[in-house]
Amino acid sequence: MLKRELMQLKKDKLLFAALILAPVFFTVLFSWYYSSGVVKSIPTAVLDFDNSSLSRMIINYFENNEKYDVKYYAKDEIELKNLIEQGNARMALVFPPDFSRKIKKGEDTRVLVICNETNLIVGNNALTRASEILQSLGVGILIKKIESLGYPPEYSDNLAMPLGFATRVLGNPAYNYSYFLIPGLIGVVFLEISILNMARTVAVDALKEENVKELLGIYITRMFLYLILLLLVFIICIFAVNKFFKIPIRGKMTDVIALAIPFITSCINIGAFLGIVTKNPLFSVQVTAYLSMPTFLASGFTWPYHMMPEPIKKFATFWPLYSFIIPLRNIMLLGSSGEEILLAVKQLGLISVFGFLLNIFMILLRSGFSEKAGIAGGE
């Protein structure tokens, strides 16, 4: 009995791959994906109304800390707001006017730390480390000031207080994990449903349908039908999580719909491609299942995109989930609109058009093979 099962396993290459190779592959893939271990180089913006040697010194501490990548220097509050809402900056430091003068006079003044908490992993890391830096910096600055007045070091240690700072949490001030996860999980559900059902049904048609025009008609009709149905269900789901589970929708619903249309279309076309190529309903379903977890991780939704290995970054840019779920979460939690959403819609649109043209080509290519086979058979 055991020998028979081993022989069956040896013959069934798909089963062998599923039982032996797939677990090893995904273990290595996930370990590589998280190999950096800690969040670093968090994109950070600065708005310095004081522009003093003291404010520049504090900024320099952040520039030299591996946790941050200070790459944006905003000119005003509008520019800073756009940097955060578009996802370019995950954290910002704002120095008020007369910051240095008030510190020297012992007057109350605070550095404002703005943190985008739509991604709790990045946001919590950014905020925690910023608090540590500002508190340790404040103690050092104040000790030097007290000692300059002639007090002994032990007295100045007792009087020294941390540098004052205030925090403003954007997107998810309650640190609610459902706000953080639900938009992404909705995206994964619709990715899977779109690809799986289109792949399965097209594989059945590709297997039995010999007429190319008929197959083209089935593919195009089904694509539009599935798009309309899935878009309606998607809109219902978004309203449901908002009404019943209190997940906010702070942006425009029109932006959500504009993002969903090319996303669902691109997923449907990926499913159609799998069905056309495999002509095997079961195998196409298995492939879709295996794509689920790695593509969600590669989307940058949980682990930040800038920390991912370069090959995974490149894959993510061509996979529709990356261009959908982060902009969707930003619309819902930050109220984002404009440039970020437009870029995402364009990217998803390109993926949709490419997928559609590729599927047409694959169907016509199949027609060419069928004609050659018919000629060979006639001879």
Question: Distances in Å between the alpha carbon of 283 and those of 18, 116, 189, 196, 273?
Answer: 11, 41, 19, 10, 13
**Among 34-43, 87-96, 161-170, which is the least confidently predicted range?**
161-170
> Would you list the DSSP string of 181-242?
HHHHHHHHHHHHHHHHHHHHHHHHHHHH---HHHHHHHHHHHHHHHHHHHHHHHHHHHHHHH
**Interstrand relation of 91-95 and 111-116 (parallel, antiparallel or unpaired):** antiparallel
Please give the pLDDT value at position 96. Answer: 94
Round to whole Å and give the CA distance between 113 and 116: 10
Q: What is the pLDDT of residue 187?
A: 94
% of the chain with per-residue pLDDT over 90? 53
Q: Where do we find the tokens 């969903």? A: 260
The residue-averaged pLDDT of 340-344 equals 90
The closest alpha carbon to 194, from 267, 292, 259, 288, belongs to 267
Taking only the tens place, the pLDDT of each residue in 21-68 is 888 888 888 888 888 888 999 999 999 999 988 889 889 999 999 999
**What is the Cα–Cα distance from 67 to 112, expressed in whole angstroms?**
18
Q: How confident is the model at residue 159 (pLDDT cuts 50, 70, 90)?
A: very low
Distances (CA, A) of 374 to 72, 206, 370, 371: 64, 17, 6, 5
- Say how many CA atoms lie within 13 Å of 316 toward its Cβ: 25
Residues with Cβ within 8 Å of residue 266, at least 6 apart in sequence: 320, 348, 351, 352, 355
Task: Quote the pLDDT of residue 164.
Answer: 78
Find the mean pLDDT for residues 142-158. Answer: 54
pLDDT at 79 over 60: yes
Residue in the structure block whose two tokens are 């968090």? 42
Instruction: Give, in order, the Cα–Cα distances in Å from 303 to each of 99, 188, 311.
Output: 36, 15, 15
**How many Cβ atoms sit within 10 Å of the Cβ of residue 109?**
19
pLDDT, one tens digit per residue, over 127-149 is 999 999 888 876 566 556 545 65
- Listed as own residue / partner, the contacts of 297-300 with beta carbons closer than 8 Å and 24 or more positions apart are 297/30, 297/33, 298/33, 298/322, 299/184, 299/187, 299/325, 299/326, 300/326
pLDDT at residue 142, as a whole number: 54
